[in-house]
Amino acid sequence: MGDKQDMTLGINVTVSGSVDANGNFTASATYSQGASNPASSNVVQSDGSVNLGNMAFSGSDYNRQTDITFTLGGTVTNAAGTSLPFSFPTDPASAITITGRDGNGVDGMTAVAGSSVQSVVLDDEDKRNRSYNYCLTIWARTDSPNPGDGVSCTLDPVIVNRAD
Helix (H, G, I), strand (E, B) or coil at 54: helix
pLDDT in tens, the chain (164 residues): 468 899 999 999 999 999 998 888 999 999 999 999 999 999 999 999 999 889 998 888 888 889 999 999 999 999 999 999 999 998 998 998 888 777 666 777 889 999 999 999 998 876 666 778 888 999 998 766 565 667 888 887 777 776 54
Report all structural domains of the chain as residue ranges with CATH numbers, in order of start: 5-160 (2.60.40.420)
Q: What's the rounded Cα separation, in Å, for the pair 138 and 123?
A: 19
